[in-house]
């Protein structure tokens, strides 16, 4: 610092204009740089602390941390919720869950595996990738079940061609080659390398969240083997899960059969499309198993619980060590109680099986499939729904499921996946006669006591129609005509109904009443999927025959054929059951349903599922009473077509037989009955494809089901059949009247297409 001279003024440089002068007394100048130095000191201290800490961790304690790193790890595991059980009306277990262990791999341990195995190539034929085709095929298969048999066969053949096509475009083949331990793993788990690659491919497309399951329901020895050699198979996990287990029933000769396989439906991972359906699949998340059809699907939102989460410490090999870090309990699904009664269901399936077997050995070798439905006519609650042939859902849920599914689909001859009770389409035959009676009386073309001559044949509009019983020629009223199932009585009614058709073409009386009584449309059953059937009318004929002037009108022939349940009429056994329930309960069209209530795991009822009350149809109760009398006669009157079949049965059963014709096939056997006739609590309908006479083949099956339902102890069809074979039973064949059988054989040969009339149903 230079001292200023006394006489020279000090020249202070003016500050640059933008910066105001900062006077010393206001501002602490010394501290400025000192303060910065302090800050600098703080920074240095912090850095020193950090470096010392680094030294401590990385040099002094490195061994400890290295050891911890090796035994370190955290895995998040989805804890799947246990799926609710399906119980019968009494609470008996029908479908439950069983433990199922699977071998899986952790995809993050195999870099590039998903990219390689996820490769998919658009198919040469239609530009869709193989996965898209597989999904389209599954959807198409479910659809195909609804069609009538002919269309179904064609559809499944087309699907089969596609199925064969997809297997050729395996763009991901060989994707596991770079990991030879995977091939070893496949061998140990008992699957082929092709199956391994397919499993990884399917998973890769779905963008797996967790492990990829390679093989399900693996043998315990395999599990132990893999666990012991965890070091050899890094990235391999044993996944403990569950699979469905199904109740079985004991049949004849002690064999076990699956119970009601068509009701349940399979479980599969929810697809992207299905997640969007928030009504059926409420709150479903990717990776959840959901029901695809039937009960499992329509009650999925109750049955499927909510997954929980488990975070565990695992070591480098993936084995759990130490504590659970975080866990969130899974919420188990609720149980569903059905209206189905396991005892009646079992009896129905046994009766169906035995009746078909018996028919095969007693003159009807073509008897194959069939269905039985048992329903409560007061509420529409379904007590049993059996369809034959069936399949084993336990195999579908197990390891060989995919192959088994393919074989079931390819079996177009038997169509085992088809639920014939709900979606089987059949000609109704004589079981349809009550509809004609109701239409006639309500349409004022006849009265409940109208008497008409029952002749062996009748000619109307140049067409000759025959009665099944060629030997009868006497006047009958409705009750008698119903009991003896006189076809000409109903031809006359059909003719009158045709003449009563308004010229304006607004409606045709027969189809109108058929629709009012529930035919031609789905019944709205809660598990869905039932067929609508077909009720021909003038519009139908126009649609079907187009410009063909000969055939595209509603003729007397159409009305007459429909009056005995033939023609192009197609009904399902479920619809027939509903009709007879209406007759039994005095005029209410009940809503068939299978679901009864939802129960929590703690046993408390959460929700009642029983659906709306039925719809009252405006039918004169007197006509229904008359019909009921006629139906009682069927089993009580010696002229009744099911007299022999129900002889000696302690409970009064009323019903109707049917022997429906179908072009190119043998007659379809029907019986629809209810009991006790005075105050009906059960309707049972049975149809047996190509089984011959309803009173002979189907009626004994219905009797057997009713015996179980009402606690009547008597011999089953199977027992009688075995007794016959053993030579200890020489009585009449079930339900047969030998005289009638001979006559029927005569008349069945005379109703061949030569006369182009489809007549004579009984």
Partner 1 sequence: MTLALLLRRVDWLLVAAVLLLLMIGQRAVRAATVNDLLGDPGFFDRRHIIYIVAGLGFAAVAMVIDPRIYRRLFWFIYGSTIGLLIIVLGFSAARGSQRWIPLPFFTLQPSELGKVTMIVCLSIIIADCVRRGIRGWGMATRAGLLMLPPFALVFIQPDLGTSIVYIAITLTVLVVAGLPGRSVAVLGGVAVALVVLVLGILPSIGLPLLRPYQAERITAFLDPQGGSDAAYQAQQSMIAIGSGGLAGRGGGVSQTAGSFLPEHHTDFVFAVVGENRGFVGSAIVVLLYLLIFWRVGRMIPRARNLEESFIAAGVFGLLLTQVAINIGMNLGIAPTTGIPLPFMTYGGSNTITNLTAVGLVLAVGARIVREQALVPGWQERPRSRLADPLEAPSDAV
* Residues in contact with partner 1 by the rule CB under 8 A: 1-2, 12-13, 15-16, 18-24, 26-40, 42-44, 46-47, 49-51, 53-55, 57-59, 61-62, 64-66, 68-69, 72-76, 107-108, 111, 114-115, 118, 207, 316, 323, 325-326
φ, ψ (nearest 5 deg) of residue 703: -60, -40
Q: Quick one: 13 or 221, whose CB is closer to partner 1?
A: 13
Q: Which CB, 44 or 154, lies closer to partner 1?
A: 44
Q: 679 vs 189, 376, 652, 654, CA distance in Å?
A: 59, 11, 10, 11
Report residue 653 as tokens.
Answer: 């059963």
CB of 64 to partner 1, least distance (A): 7
Q: Are 345 and 594 in contact (CB under 8 A)?
A: no
Nearest to partner 1 of 16, 124 (CB atom): 16
The strand pair at 457-460 and 452-454 is best described as unpaired
Q: How far is the CB of 66 from partner 1 (least distance, A)?
A: 5
**Considering the complex, what minimum distance in angstroms separates the CB of residue 131 from partner 1?**
16
- 399: Cα within 13 Å, side-chain hemisphere: 17
Alpha-carbon span 334 to 331, nearest angstrom: 9
**Looking at beta carbons only, is 17 or 648 nearer to partner 1?**
17
Any residues with CB less than 8 A from the CB of 331 and at least 6 apart, and which? 81, 305, 306, 308
Residue 65 beta carbon to partner 1: minimum distance, rounded to whole angstroms = 3
Closest separation in Å from C-beta 319 to partner 1: 15
Q: Which is nearer to partner 1, 54 or 742 (CB)?
A: 54
Smallest separation (angstroms) from partner 1 to the CB of 100: 26
Q: Does residue 585 sit in helix, strand or coil?
A: helix
Q: CB-wise, 200 or 482, nearer to partner 1?
A: 200
Q: Which SS3 state, helix, strand or coil, does residue 723 take?
A: helix
CB closer to partner 1 out of 315 and 601: 315
Least Å from the CB of residue 109 to partner 1: 10
Burial category of 153 from C-beta neighbours within 10 Å (exposed 0-12, middle 13-18, buried 19 and up): middle
By beta-carbon proximity to partner 1, the closer residue of 60 and 754 is 60
Mutual orientation of helices 509-516 and 556-563 as an angle, nearest 10°? 40
CB of 587 to partner 1, least distance (A): 57
DSSP string for residues in 332-390 = PPPEEEES--HHHHHHHHHHHHHHHHHHHHTT-TT---EEEEEE-TTT-BEEEEEEES-
Whose tokens are 């010393």? That residue is 24
DSSP label of 695 = I
Least distance from partner 1 to the Cβ atom of residue 29, Å: 4
DSSP 396-464: HHSTTHHHHHHHHHH-TTT-TT--HHHH--B--GGGGHHHHHHHHHHTTSS-TT--EEE-SEEEETTEE
SS3 content of the chain, % helix, strand, coil (to 5): 40, 20, 40
- Angstrom distance (rounded) from CA 69 to CA 693: 79
Q: Which is nearer to partner 1, 44 or 121 (CB)?
A: 44
Q: Count Cβ neighbours within 10 Å for each residue of 471-488 and write b for 16 or more, e otherwise.
A: ebeeebbbbbbbbbbbbb
Nearer to partner 1, 118 or 694 (CB): 118
Q: How far is the CB of 278 from partner 1 (least distance, A)?
A: 21
**CB-nearer residue toward partner 1: 107 or 390:** 107
CB of 60 to partner 1, least distance (A): 9
The secondary structure of 249-268 as a DSSP string is: EE-GGG-EEES-HHHH--EE
């Amino acid at each position: 610092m230079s001292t200023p001279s006394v006489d020279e003024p000090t020249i202070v440089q003016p500050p640059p204009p933008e910066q105001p002068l900062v006077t010393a007394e206001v501002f602490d100048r010394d501290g400025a740089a000192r303060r910065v130095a302090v800050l600098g000191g703080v920074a240095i201290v912090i850095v020193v602390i950090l470096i010392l800490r680094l030294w401590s961790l990385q040099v002094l304690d490195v061994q400890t941390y290295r050891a911890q790193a090796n035994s370190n790890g955290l895995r998040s595991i989805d804890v799947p919720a246990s799926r609710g059980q399906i119980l019968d009306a009494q609470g008996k277990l029908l479908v439950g869950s069983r433990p199922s262990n699977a071998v899986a791999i952790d995809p993050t341990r195999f870099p590039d595996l998903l990219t390689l195995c996820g490769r998919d190539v658009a198919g040469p034929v239609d530009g869709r990738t193989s996965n898209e085709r597989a999904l389209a095929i599954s959807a198409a298969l479910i659809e195909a079940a609804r069609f009538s048999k002919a269309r179904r066969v064609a559809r499944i053949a087309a699907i089969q061609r596609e199925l064969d096509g997809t297997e050729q475009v395996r763009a991901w083949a060989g994707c596991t080659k770079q990991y030879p331990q995977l091939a070893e793993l496949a061998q140990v788990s008992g699957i082929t390398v092709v199956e391994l690659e397919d499993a990884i491919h399917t998973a890769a497309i779905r963008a797996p969240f967790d492990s990829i399951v390679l093989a399900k329901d693996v043998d315990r020895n395999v599990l132990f083997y893999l666990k012991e050699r965890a070091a050899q198979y890094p990235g391999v996990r044993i996944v403990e899960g569950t699979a469905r287990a199904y109740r079985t029933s004991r049949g004849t000769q002690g064999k076990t059969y699956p119970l009601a396989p068509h009701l349940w439906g399979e479980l599969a991972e929810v697809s992207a499309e299905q997640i969007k359906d928030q009504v059926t699949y409420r709150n479903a998340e990717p990776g959840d198993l959901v029901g695809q059809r039937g009960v499992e699907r329509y009650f999925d939102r109750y049955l499927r619980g909510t997954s929980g989460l488990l975070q565990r410490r695992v070591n480098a090999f993936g084995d759990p060590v130490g504590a659970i870090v975080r866990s969130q309990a899974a919420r188990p699904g609720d149980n569903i109680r059905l209206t189905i009664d396991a005892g009646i269901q079992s009896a129905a399936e046994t009766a169906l099986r035995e009746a078909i077997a018996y028919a095969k050995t007693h003159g009807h070798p073509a008897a194959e499939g069939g269905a039985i439905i048992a329903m409560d006519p007061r509420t529409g609650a379904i007590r049993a729904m059996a369809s034959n042939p069936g399949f084993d859902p336990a195999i579908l849920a197990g390891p060989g499921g995919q192959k088994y599914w393919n074989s079931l689909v390819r079996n177009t001859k038997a169509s085992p996946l088809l639920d014939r009770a709900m979606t089987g389409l059949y000609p109704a035959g004589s079981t349809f006669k009550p509809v004609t009676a109701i239409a006639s009386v309500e349409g004022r073309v006849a009265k409940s006591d109208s008497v008409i001559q029952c002749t062996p044949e009748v000619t109307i509009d140049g067409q000759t129609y025959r009665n099944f019983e060629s030997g009868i020629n006497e006047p009958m009223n409705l009750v008698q005509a119903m009991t003896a199932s006189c076809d000409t009585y109903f031809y006359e009614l059909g003719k009158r109904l045709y003449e009563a058709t308004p010229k304006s073409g607004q409606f045709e009386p027969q189809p109108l009443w058929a629709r009012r009584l529930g035919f031609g449309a789905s019944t709205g059953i809660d598990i869905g999927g039932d067929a609508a059937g077909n009720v021909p009318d003038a519009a139908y004929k126009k649609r079907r025959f187009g410009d063909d002037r000969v055939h595209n009108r509603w003729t007397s022939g159409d009305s007459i054929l429909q009056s005995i349940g033939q023609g192009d009429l197609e009904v399902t056994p479920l619809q027939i059951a509903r009709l007879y329930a209406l007759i039994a309960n005095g005029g209410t069209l009940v809503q068939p349903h299978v679901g009864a209530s939802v129960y929590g795991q703690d046993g408390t009822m959460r929700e009642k599922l029983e659906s709306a009350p039925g719809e009252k149809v405006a039918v004169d109760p007197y006509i229904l009473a008359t019909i009921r009398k006629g139906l009682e006669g069927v089993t009580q009157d010696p002229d009744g077509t099911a007299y022999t079949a129900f002889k000696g049965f302690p409970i009064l059963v009323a019903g109707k037989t049917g022997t429906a014709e179908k072009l190119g096939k043998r007659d379809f056997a029907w019986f629809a009955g209810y009991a006790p006739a005075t105050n009906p609590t059960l309707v049972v309908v049975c149809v047996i494809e190509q089984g011959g006479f309803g009173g002979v083949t189907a009626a004994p099956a219905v009797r057997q089901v009713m015996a179980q339902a009402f606690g009547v102890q008597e011999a089953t069809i199977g027992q009688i059949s075995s007794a016959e074979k053993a030579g200890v039973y020489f009585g009449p064949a079930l339900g047969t009247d030998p005289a009638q059988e001979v006559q029927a054989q005569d008349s069945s040969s005379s109703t061949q297409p030569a006369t182009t009339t489809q007549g004579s149903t009984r």
